[in-house]
Amino acid sequence: MNMQNAPDIRELSYAEAIREAMDIALGSDERVVLMGEDIGVYGGAFQVTGDLIDKYGPDRVMDTPISELGGAGVAVGAAMTGLRPIFEFQFSDFATLAMEQIVNQAAKIRFMLGGAVSVPLVMRFPAGSGTGAAAQHSQSIEAWLGHVPGLKVIQPSTPEDAKGMLLAALEDPDPVMIFEHKILYKMRGPVPEGHYTIPIGKAAVRREGKDLTIVATSLMVHKALAAADDLAQNGIDAEVIDLRTIRPMDRDTVLASVRKTGRLICVYEGVKTLGVGAEISAMVAESDAFDYLDAPIFRLGGAESPIPYNPELEKAVVPQVPDILNAATELAQGRL
Amino acid sequence: MPVEVIMPKVDMDMARGTVAAWHVEPGATVAKGDPLFDIETDKAAMEVEAQADGILHHPAPEGTEVAIGQPVAWLYAEGEEVGDAPAVSAPEAQPEPEEPAETTVSEPVSPPSPTENIRATPRARTLARDANIDLATLTGSGPRGRIQAEDVPQAREEVPATFTAQTGALHVMRSKGTGTPLVLIHGFASDSMSWKPLEAHLKNRALIRIDLPCHGKSPNMRVGSFADLVKTVRQTFDDLHLDAAHVIGHSLGGAVALALADTRPRSIASLTLIAPAGLGPDINEAALAGIARATKPESLAPWLKTLVHDESLINDGYARAAMKTRLDPHMRAAQAALAHAVFPDGTQAFDLKAALHRVSMPTRLIWGRSDKIIPWQHALTAPGPVALHLFEATGHLPQFERAEGIGKLLQSAL
């Protein structure tokens, strides 16, 4: 990671790291504006924007009306005409209301205008379950947007990545969708000072291992790492890859790991069927790494269910550490 | 013309099924949808319904295995003449006509070519192709006989006659817990993981496990003698800087624990020796050599069975898991060299009986009465103050076969 130029490491929460990235961007580039519902005076549904309105004023930290379609349309237009908007959805679930602007406009304008115009837009989506917010406020719909050519879709899993990847997204000439797991907002970790970027499209090997590969996204990276520690106690050495970007996917890192270990588990919170893990699995099956597989590929994803309100059921419908532990143990011992 | 009742394909991988039981007698009238017979495959049992109305004749005997698509009985219309069982209509792809239904076992409809029919992982196929090995000659250890990389002989390194001697500190694995820590020293050809069954009954205790040289994650050292071995472990023990510790050792690790207690009496609060070496000359050399030599689960399993009283504990999964920890040929060679140093000519070349009389901390011996590696009678050399716990129907691994009992014993004593 690009930490050479930023030696001062201190700990911030994931939400603070995002706010710091936006602060740096607002302070150094007058084209940057923040838009979203209740991000101004209230500070954002998850207090990510915080008090930035006090520092930069309501012209640059703009509250938008309760119309995701309208707000997203303004953001797309602002990006086309020279600004660098960062648009926040209160919940990623509400992206459904703005699909026209995201899918049909932001993703396609560069192509339809022959490259004459691009849409340098950043959208932020608080995502995922675990907060007791039920079916319409807990989904993981990153794979929906990952299906659209013209978009980049990222899922930072650490405070350091959250800041560095947001700053990288602002430098991108095309729309970048950032899915931030709500449970991660309070997670603390080292974050370099000042401006730095972490490249989009590059996965991170969070733990090296030789017995099997676990490719995980977002919050699942931390569950996979916890499972890997337990696996090590049982003599199973798991490699954990944090995918970080689901579009474009880091093929090289995943395939190199599978060639080494011969076994693959994909762990992701979105619905298992037709999800991120299906794409990873197919990518491996279609590549030369297929010849290195010594067991079937295993997916652990969200259940075929809306996220329930009951806290126990809410836990049951997404992969948990024991699920990863069981699957990895079975796989490593040649029982799957 | 009677209607054939065929063996249905109820599972992707199914080539044949067994007629487990008929629900109706020959000559009985059935209606479409009535339960007709039960079949069993290697994965499941299920009920098959009649696909047409009719009177049942010529059912295949219960227990008969039949290829899918082949008839198991015929349904006749009311008044239709019933003679011998009709000849089976040959499917188009059939190379030769099928035999009549009386045949107890029919061949699969179209026998696939041998390699197509073999279950093997892509990696195993790649390794076998590169090594020019016919998959058909291999036995798969995976689910339903799937050949995996570890089943391809050339995928394993041959045991080197020698090993490169390594140096460095012994591997120590600690678990947090309360009270005076328990220091665990495993036996020959084992490692710290072997304490797992016992650890389940030592909840909340601070544990420190030491991997002996050439074992587990410790370096493959050149160990010249038992004294050498003790010296290395003593260095590791000293580096832990413990004010007090309960030391527990098994087999060779028991001998090491006793020698350690003899020289570090002040920091060792108690001593637990499980089937320890060092108290007599005899030891099962063949078993030690067999375990050290084994390169695959099949050759390891028979020797592992000599370690226990209840051989059913050593199933395929256990042997496979045990072999997995012994795949490194350098480690195996290093262990063979260690065995040669401490057990030359199948004899325990060190005598710790005097040490057992010298140590003054509370000391207990735990032994299985069916130990086939080191005779339990070696325990009888112990002096009066040493407690002796003999477990019936238990082999050389009491901490595995009697984990709960020993766990309770230690929890109350330590």
H-helix or E-strand spanning residue B45 = strand B45-49
pLDDT band at B47 (very low <50, low <70, confident <90, very high): confident
> CA nearest B382: which of B253, B292, B278, B238?
B278
pLDDT the model gives residue B150: 86
Cα separation, A176 vs A159, in Å, equals 18
Mean pLDDT of chain A: 96
pLDDT the model gives residue B88: 60
Q: What is the pLDDT of residues A58-69, one digit of tens each?
A: 999 999 999 999
Q: Which position among A16, A20, A137, A314 bears the catalytic label?
A: A137
pLDDT band at B91 (very low <50, low <70, confident <90, very high): very low
> Which residues between 277 and 316 in chain A have a beta carbon less than 8 angstroms from any beta carbon of chain B?
290-295
Tokens standing for residue A41:
């005076």
Within 8 A of B320 by CB-CB distance, chain A residues are 333-334
Q: What is the pLDDT of residues A251-285, one digit of tens each?
A: 999 999 999 999 999 999 999 999 999 999 999 99
Start-end of CATH 4.10.320.10 domains in chain B: 122-155
pLDDT at B99 over 60: no
A292–B126: do the CB atoms touch at under 8 Å? yes
> What ipTM is given for this predicted complex?
0.78
* Phi-psi group of B190: left, alpha or beta (phi > 0 → left; psi -120 to 50 → alpha; rest → beta): beta
pLDDT the model gives residue A42: 96
pLDDT band at A3 (very low <50, low <70, confident <90, very high): very low
CA-CA-CA-CA dihedral for B341, B346, B351, B356, to nearest 10: 110
The fold for domain B122-155 equals: Dihydrolipoamide Transferase (4.10.320)
Q: Quick check: is A137 catalytic?
A: yes
pLDDT at B41 over 80: no
pLDDT the model gives residue B402: 94
Q: Which position among A16, A37, A68, A269 bears the catalytic label?
A: A68
Higher pLDDT, residue A164 or B350 = A164
Within 8 A of B121 by CB-CB distance, chain A residues are 262, 293-295
Cα separation, B259 vs B118, in Å, equals 54
Tokens standing for residue A161:
């990545």
> CA nearest A319: which of A305, A301, A296, A298?
A301
Q: What is the pLDDT of residues A290-325, one digit of tens each?
A: 999 999 999 999 999 999 999 999 999 999 999 999
**What is the residue type of A309?**
Y
pLDDT the model gives residue B106: 43
Cα separation, B66 vs B26, in Å, equals 19
DSSP A192-217: ESS-----TT--EEEE--SSEEEEE-
pLDDT at B93 over 50: no
Burial of B8: CB neighbours in 10 Å, binned 0-12, 13-18, 19+: middle
Tokens standing for residue B347:
């004899």
Q: What is the pLDDT of residues B287-321, one digit of tens each?
A: 888 888 888 888 888 889 999 999 988 888 888 88
pLDDT at A87 over 50: yes
Judged by a CB distance cut-off of 8 A, whether residue A336 touches chain B is: yes
pLDDT band at B159 (very low <50, low <70, confident <90, very high): very low
Cα separation, B393 vs A285, in Å, equals 51
Start-end of CATH 2.40.50.100 domains in chain B: 1-110
Q: What are residue B150's DSSP bridge partners?
A: none
Q: What is the pLDDT of residues B362-392, one digit of tens each?
A: 999 999 999 999 999 999 999 999 999 999 9
CATH architecture of residue range(s) B1-110: Beta Barrel (2.40)
Q: What is the pLDDT of residues B264-286, one digit of tens each?
A: 989 999 999 999 999 998 898 88
pLDDT band at B203 (very low <50, low <70, confident <90, very high): confident
pLDDT at B160 over 70: no
pLDDT the model gives residue A8: 59
pLDDT at A227 over 70: yes
Quick count: other Cβ atoms within 10 Å of Cβ A273? 12
Answer whether B348's CB lies under 8 Å from B226's CB.
no
Higher pLDDT, residue B127 or B97 = B127
What residues have CB less than 8 Å from A45, skipping those under 6 apart?
A37, A38, A90, A91, A126
pLDDT the model gives residue B110: 44
How far does A318 lie from chain B, in Å, by closest CA? 27
pLDDT the model gives residue B70: 84
Domains of chain A: 10-192 (3.40.50.970), 204-332 (3.40.50.920)
Which of A294, A297, A331, A333 is most worth mutating to test chain B (most B CB atoms within 10 A of its CB)? A294
Share of chain A above pLDDT 90, in %: 95
pLDDT the model gives residue B94: 41
Within 8 A of B124 by CB-CB distance, chain A residues are 294
Q: What are residue B3's DSSP bridge partners?
A: B75
- Inter-residue long-range contacts of B224-227, CB under 8 Å, 24+ positions, other chains counted: B224/B341, B225/B341, B225/B342, B225/B349, B226/B255, B226/B259, B226/B341, B226/B342, B226/B349, B226/B350, B227/B350
Cα separation, A87 vs A64, in Å, equals 10
pLDDT at A5 over 60: no
pLDDT the model gives residue B108: 43
The fold for domain B172-413 equals: Rossmann fold (3.40.50)
A70-84, A98-112, B206-220: range with lowest mean pLDDT: B206-220
